[in-house]
A and B are shown apart, each in its own frame.
Chain A
């Protein structure tokens, strides 16, 4: 087995550092803490980048019993996810250096923050389902402290809710893994799936199993029947945490589904079966319902969380269509949504950090007070709504196109409709903040207004993320090409 040091470091260095930060009694002084955490994060990110750059690498780490094995394997898809994560994670970390001032127990926060990065890397690079599941569980457990960070009662309750929902999902997945272990050729991820030859007469059973797994990962991705935890859990976390949570962590559910459907089971197995239909239905319901709830929500972070619910289901919808174009859309949306949503959350965080205002209707004239922030916010939301040339447009275009050409009855036209409606809703729930922010109306007292622009440490990440969310939409071709290569191997 070729022993790839970078891979090891990328995964285990952050974990080790995180544990050290947690248990090392020193690090009393804030700057020292920030320094250490940032340094360790940076180093591990370099390793990760090295891996990403190198491209192909695999590593059989250890065999813990029977067919159970921790096995890492870097493939293009993993690279994409890893890259996105790395970037956003870095931004959020910089942001939190400032933001976390007004939270307590930063030691724990940063410790886990670094730790989770390692876990996510492991998820991106994991080469078989067992490894994926292992780190998936670990992710659930390690993100928990981030959610429960301020120990308010609701935070703890939200944390428990998160825990139990995610475990519920994880166990559904595990249920599936048990069966795939028997009937699938192998649990290793092979592009296009190894098929279910062994399944023989158990196709009905297999369908149930696959559906359960979709549901299971769907929990993390906030898909309809099991989405309730997301709007509760994400907002209570500190803003940077909720940014990465709803920008990246939820994507791990998506990644899981992709891995199962396109890398183990193979899309052909469920194409045209009731599983696909059910899945599509669920995603569409989620898309619509998520936007509706977001529209009706008054607390800003909650509103963003609901929007996450619906946006992730865009991605899932694209996957469920099981055709290349739609899938391109989905993967694009993965990338874009990561940048956009984290940007939105961060700006919301900035607002809270400066003004302490959480409800939307308090934000009249906020644009006057902190223009840069709100401009970033505006660009990001435009991207999310899908105004060309901002990024969201591209992905939605592919999604719509894919669904139209997929030729699945009803859904082929119902899909785009729903997408459009929810895009309108998105505009409806995001833009008012900008508008009211910059145009507070006549009765706003301009005397009382003072500038509350946050310091550069907070602004720069915002700018970068906002910029990314626009630019990626303007020059998407390299990304699209790369994704097309990946997808080419899957169908």
Chain B
């Protein structure tokens, strides 16, 4: 039954969002209430559906070759869908205050809530083709959001995003077709769908195809050669950057890679083959590359974007271990990073919104003026550094645990990369915090006159995310057990 709820949850924000510009709202307030209700309702539906999760598949439309658009609730879907549906209402709330002065609100919110539906579609799609469909839609729906400011670099960023993303999807399509031919079914099944009888001598070719698809989806997951679009897309309004470029879109890319690796080709098929070192190597390189770029970057959002680049590759590193434990680590970091990064992005947004400061070196001494914002920022910064007791430590712990258990020497070096990047993370995050709290002796208070924390609409989500980071850090057992069940295919 509950898979019909899922369809409802996917359609509701899409249709509701599409209606936004049309409906005659008497006041801005009315529209905001409508949107928030819409979002919360969707989340409620999703969560109820998850709570009584079923594993039946719902086929919506059949198209060519008996392929269909179909939905199912399995473990990974529960994870991603649940994550998104928890984060979205907060981000929506935040964006109400943020978007006040950005203009074109109706259009913005229309696409913003449509994106919600599409992301849920990605999460709950039960076979490669449906996921591909929503994956493409996600690309298209987010375009207007990046384009929102309509400045020149926004247009350029959008173009780059479109070309890279669609191009990547095109390569992924190849893998889909291979799965059609060489697999038993298109349905995601943990452990892979490939049919050894059909494969025969084609193993290497399939591996090559996996590599293509990996990099294809890797575009959204911002693996090194294809990571350029993410910092560019930072021109979008912060709620977009925070939610989409820290969670929804990029995580969709990672999600797709997990699906590809564990649910389609199957970890066993890939483990120990020549693709694994390549994949892992790229992940490791990206981890370090992203951090070092972040250290060099002076623009707050771009710095955070680069940090996202490297953190996404943590997840991919976990995935590339091709073991259940690795999958657990990957998923754990998926969750933790979501909270930490959206938190820090929203803080950055709050700073820019309150002070119009965009660059790190302009932030001297704001810590005293905006304690809430910078407090939350510090929490997420420490979390990203992986200080014990915060979320980041948990996920890194699991990743490293998996790496050690995989007894794969390359994975050991992977741990090294994790720690190096943790150090770099400390450098680029703490330098902001210290600047804000220790402005230096020659600092005069005039530049921070009249700056203060934003209103509750902005602060509330920040506090919630900070709290979540601490909570996960202090009591991660339920989460980890859940993830282990997923990796064991219990859901």
Q: Which chain A residues have a beta carbon within 8 Å of chain B's beta carbons?
A: 62-66, 68, 130, 133-134, 137-138, 141, 145, 148, 150-153, 156, 159-160, 163-164, 167-168, 171-172, 174-175, 178-179, 181-182, 205
Specify which of B387, B388, B404, B438 is in contact with A179 (CB 8 Å cutoff): B404
Judged by a CB distance under 8 angstroms, whether B439 is at the interface is yes
When each residue 53-71 of chain B gets 1 if its CB lies under 8 Å from chain A and 0 otherwise, what string results? Answer: 0000000000000000000
Specify which of A138, A159, A164, A182 is in contact with B427 (CB 8 Å cutoff): A164
Between-chain CB contacts (< 8 Å), 29 pairs:
A62-B474, A64-B394, A64-B476, A65-B477, A66-B401, A68-B394, A68-B397, A130-B388, A133-B388, A141-B382, A151-B440, A152-B440, A152-B441, A160-B430, A164-B423, A164-B427, A167-B423, A172-B419, A174-B386, A174-B400, A175-B415, A175-B416, A175-B419, A178-B401, A178-B403, A178-B404, A178-B415, A182-B404, A182-B405
Judged by a CB distance under 8 angstroms, whether B480 is at the interface is yes
Which chain B residues border A178 with CB–CB below 8 Å? 397, 400-401, 403-404, 415
Given known pairs A137-B388, A164-B427, A171-B419, the reply for A148 and B477 (CB within 8 Å) is: no
CA distance A138 to B480 in the complex (A): 24
- CB pair A64–B387 under 8 Å, yes or no, is no
CA distance A239 to B456 in the complex (A): 43
A383: shortest Cβ distance to chain B, in Å? 36
Which chain A residues border B441 with CB–CB below 8 Å? 150-153
A153's nearest neighbour on chain B, judged by CB, is: B440
Judged by a CB distance under 8 angstroms, whether B385 is at the interface is yes
- CB pair A163–B430 under 8 Å, yes or no, is yes
Q: Which chain B residues have a beta carbon within 8 Å of chain A's beta carbons?
A: 382, 385-389, 394, 397-398, 400-401, 403-405, 412, 415-416, 419-420, 422-423, 426-427, 430-431, 434, 438-443, 473-477, 479-480
Which chain B residues border A164 with CB–CB below 8 Å? 423, 426-427
CA distance A168 to B425 in the complex (A): 11
CA distance A66 to B328 in the complex (A): 12
Specify which of B382, B394, B434 is in contact with A159 (CB 8 Å cutoff): B434
B443's nearest neighbour on chain A, judged by CB, is: A151
CA distance A392 to B382 in the complex (A): 41
- CB pair A171–B423 under 8 Å, yes or no, is yes
Which chain A residues border B426 with CB–CB below 8 Å? 163-164, 167
Most chain B CB within a 10 A radius of its CB, from A137, A171, A179: A171
Which chain A residues border B422 with CB–CB below 8 Å? 167, 171
Which chain A residues border B430 with CB–CB below 8 Å? 160, 163
Which chain B residues border A130 with CB–CB below 8 Å? 388
B312: shortest Cβ distance to chain A, in Å? 20
Which chain B residues border A64 with CB–CB below 8 Å? 389, 394, 473-477
- CB pair B440–A63 under 8 Å, yes or no, is no
CA distance A299 to B175 in the complex (A): 68
A105: shortest Cβ distance to chain B, in Å? 10
B486: shortest Cβ distance to chain A, in Å? 16
- CB pair B434–A148 under 8 Å, yes or no, is yes
Which chain B residues border A181 with CB–CB below 8 Å? 401, 404
B479's nearest neighbour on chain A, judged by CB, is: A65
CA distance A277 to B438 in the complex (A): 43
CA distance A131 to B419 in the complex (A): 19
Specify which of B382, B405, B431, B474 is in contact with A160 (CB 8 Å cutoff): B431
Which chain A residues border B416 with CB–CB below 8 Å? 175
A64-B476, A148-B434, A151-B439 given. 20 additional CB < 8 A pairs?
A: A62-B475, A65-B397, A66-B398, A66-B480, A68-B388, A130-B388, A134-B388, A141-B382, A145-B438, A148-B438, A152-B440, A156-B434, A167-B423, A167-B426, A171-B422, A174-B386, A175-B415, A175-B419, A178-B397, A205-B412
